[in-house]
Structure 1
Amino acid sequence: MIEEWSEFNVAMAGATAALAGLVIVAASVNIAEIVKSRTLTARLLAGIAALVLALAVSAIGLVPGLDLTWYGVLIVVATLLMSVFQVNVTRLIAGDPNPADRARPLKYLIGFLPLAAYLVAGVLVGVGHPSGLYLAAAGCLLAIVSAIVVSWVALVEVLR
């Protein structure tokens, strides 16, 4: 089943690797303003971590002869490892002294979307259900979207 997804995985591995690099380079342009924020650096790191998760899941899916059960386990493990960054962002935003910032759950909820998709995908793939591969693809696309949103805030909104 995984072999049918090889072209998608190749495309997503390349796209997420390139996007993660671009986000890091672009952030360096406004780094002085970004580091002044209590939560922005953590949000940017969580966005990059989501891209690294998408890269890892796509790359692992290209391993020849990989068993679906192992692929599912590796997706779950990678997701749990990368979740640490999003949990940290949520904790920082929840503890933000500015009540207006704490009242905007979209600031951190968007980062949980790809993680949730990957977690469920990993379980489904691990038990051999083909819908898990579609959910993993959705997780990859959600990781790209959430990273772009976080990057936009870090790179553009910080200057307003």
Structure 2
Amino acid sequence: MPLAATEISEWSDLFVASAGATAALAGLVFVAISINIDRILKLEGVAELGLITLILLVGVLVVSLFGLIPGQEDTSFGYEMLALSVISSLAVFALVKRSLAGVGPGEGRLTSRLILPMFGTVPYLVGSVLLVTGSDAGMYWVFAGMVGAIIAAVMNAWILLVEILR
């Protein structure tokens, strides 16, 4: 048994499970948004938080689908990840900037709007660069990005469903 699973084919079970789980979570976030749509639209920056959450979840889904392409080389996956991570990071940070524009000092929303999304974007960037350069650590960084994105999305979903009603 190898100490490190460095080939993309060794991660296929994880990708299958992640694709199903994140598709279901994205559906639940859509429901949460639709239930609270009036309140979400009234609160400045919260609609952006909803879109960030969906981008993070769909990002994990797309990563999983990329990882399931048969016969793919690690470097090909790395280039796909690099393109996805750059595009999603730019989109997330543009939405974060818009979301923070209406947040006053001391409102305590910096964590959910800026820090949490970084857990689902930065590891992808690191992992994709490592994969492209042939480093064995790349897949583990991609995994960290998947976990970070799911955790951030679940925490944001709680805000969208419960916290905005307080």
Note whether the superposition's TM-score is higher than 0.5.
yes
**Separation (CA, whole Å) in 2 of partners of 1:97 and 1:21:** 28
Counterpart among 89, 94, 117 of residue 123 in structure 2: 117
The one-letter code matched in structure 1 to 2:110 is: P
The offset of 1:60, in angstroms, is 0.4
- Summarize the Cα distance change of 1:29–1:94 in structure 2 as closer, same or farther, 3 Å threshold: closer
Q: TM-score, normalised by structure 1?
A: 0.93
Counterpart among 116, 119, 136 of residue 130 in structure 1: 136
2:42 partner SS:
coil
2:147 maps to 1:158: no
- The residue number in structure 2 matching 1:106 is 111
Gaps of 5+ in 2: 1-6
The offset of 1:97, in angstroms, is 5.5
The offset of 1:134, in angstroms, is 1.2
Counterpart among 97, 100, 103 of residue 91 in structure 1: 97
The answer on whether the counterparts of 1:42 and 1:88 sit within 8 Å (CA) in structure 2 is: no
- Summarize the Cα distance change of 1:97–1:62 in structure 2 as closer, same or farther, 3 Å threshold: closer
Q: Name the Cα RMSD after superposition.
A: 1.4
2:28 maps to 1:55: no
Gaps of 5+ in 1: none
Identity %: 36
The offset of 1:26, in angstroms, is 2.0
The offset of 1:84, in angstroms, is 2.9
Counterpart among 141, 146, 154 of residue 147 in structure 2: 141
Q: Would you tell me which structure has more helix in proportion to its own residues?
A: 1
**Separation (CA, whole Å) in 1 of partners of 2:64 and 2:40:** 30
Counterpart among 62, 66, 70 of residue 64 in structure 1: 70
